[in-house]
Chains A and B, each alone.
Chain A
Amino acid sequence: MNNLIRLFIVLTLVIGTSRADQFQLKLKESEITGGFDLSYAKVSIIGEHGFSGITDKLGRITITGLPIGNYPAKVLDSRGQGKSASFNIDGQQTLKDVYVQ
């Protein structure tokens, strides 16, 4: 019984722990000439677990407070152009490429 409780606690911690995953936003080669600017772009994840943040000058962002999972997001550049992206929160502490489209 104690082992079951321990397993439950560990699983809860693993699933529910807030992550700080890092992403590098990128444009597909065919969309580079479209004028979309990844510098200081606003990233919004809406839903039960929400997040809002701004990329840095190089298009990087750290997403915190989300449990492991896949999250669709809206990306707005500084001129108001919108695109979408999908962020995979997996707890890895390395910079992951995310393509906006």
Chain B
Amino acid sequence: MDSAYILFGIAVLSIILGFVALLSQKIYLDATTKEPTEVEVPFLGKIRSNYPALVFVFLGVALAFYAFQRSYPPKKEMWNLEGFFTPPDGKTVDRAGALELRGPDPIVVKNTIDDDKTGHFQIWVNIPEGKSVEQVFETLNYTYSDGSAYIDLKDKSTVDKSMEHQRIFKKVPITVYQSSDTN
């Protein structure tokens, strides 16, 4: 937070200095060429100007915006996802298996399967305010050595109960993989 105050301070100082220079109508000349200076503006290229004070104002505003973004990132809300990855009769699930929410920024959620017989899972995850879990993630995948299962979050038919910040999914059977060398 201290760094944000320093950034805000520099930004305000730049803007004030820029305005002071603008109001005082100083003409800045290049020391070697004795010509008015040129300023390089992103996306616009070189602008011939005797008011580089504008650069101070521009940089000050950009710095203030950056500091604001860093100081006040979008708020997050806690969401709860619950359901069952059900193992076949007589089998259990590996509670240490990989449970992942997949999307552009996938995350691994650990220690969330709380029953190795029913495969009940409960996940708490932070989602940016104003977005839903389906907008941030695409699938919920569970994989362990003997099998795997997944829930397509975009498919509403997989949801049993849908509340404001909670989704309770229908039971999803685990596909068991039978290794050929075990036969």
Instruction: Kindly identify which residue among B148, B178, B180, B183 contacts A58, using a CB–CB cutoff of 8 Å.
Output: B148
Point out the residues of chain B lying under 8 angstroms from A96, CB to CB: 180
B179 pairs with A95, CB closer than 8 A: yes
Name the residue on A nearest B149 (C-beta): A56
Closest CB-CB distance, B62 to chain A, in whole Å? Answer: 32
Give A33 to B67 CA distance when docked, in angstroms: 41
Shortest CB distance B2–A (Å): 38
Residues A95 and B180 in contact, CB atoms below 8 Å apart: yes
* Residue from B139, B141, B177 in contact with A22 in the complex, judged by beta carbons closer than 8 Å: B177
Residue A66 CB within 8 A of the other chain: no
Given B98, B100, B150, B183, which contacts A54 in the complex, CB threshold below 8 Å?
B150
Closest to A39 in B: B143
A62 contacts chain B at the CB level, 8 A cutoff? yes
A56 touches B183 (CB 8 A): no
Chain A, range 40-90, C-beta contacts under 8 Å to B: 40, 54, 56-58, 60, 62
Closest CB in chain B relative to A60 CB, distance in Å:
5
Q: Does A12 contact B (CB under 8 A)?
A: no
- A58 CB contacts on chain B under 8 angstroms: 143, 145, 148
Quick one: which of A40, A57, A94 contacts B178, CB cutoff 8 A?
A94
User: In the complex, how many residue pairs between chain A and chain B have their CB atoms under 8 Å apart?
Assistant: 33
Q: Which residues of B contact A94 (CB under 8 A)?
A: 178-180, 183
Question: Nearest chain A CB to B156's CB is how many angstroms away?
Answer: 19
Number of A residues with CB within 8 Å of any CB on chain B: 13
Chain B: interface residue count, which band? Answer: 10 to 19
Q: Closest Cβ of chain A: how far from B142's Cβ, in Å? A: 8
**Complex contacts, B120 vs chain A, CB 8 Å:** none
A96–B181 Cα distance when bound, in Å, is 10
Q: How far is the CB of A67 from chain B (nearest CB, A)?
A: 20
> Which residues of the partner chain A approach B141 to less than 8 Å between Cβ atoms?
40, 56-57
Interface residue A30 (Cβ < 8 Å from any Cβ of B): no
Contact of A57 among B100, B177, B179 (CB under 8 A): B100
Contacts of B148 in A (CB 8 A): 56-58, 60
Determine the distance from Cα of A95 to Cα of B146 in the docked complex, in whole angstroms.
11
| CB–CB A95/B143 < 8 A | no
Q: Is B178 a contact partner of A93 (Cβ separation < 8 A)?
A: yes
**Chain A: residues with CB nearer than 8 A to chain B?**
22, 24, 40, 54, 56-58, 60, 62, 93-96
- Of the A-B pairs whose beta carbons lie under 8 Å apart in the complex, a sample of 27, sorted by A's number, is A22-B175, A24-B177, A40-B102, A40-B141, A54-B139, A54-B150, A56-B141, A56-B143, A56-B148, A57-B100, A57-B141, A57-B143, A57-B148, A58-B143, A58-B145, A58-B148, A60-B148, A60-B177, A62-B175, A93-B178, A94-B178, A94-B179, A94-B180, A94-B183, A95-B178, A95-B179, A96-B180
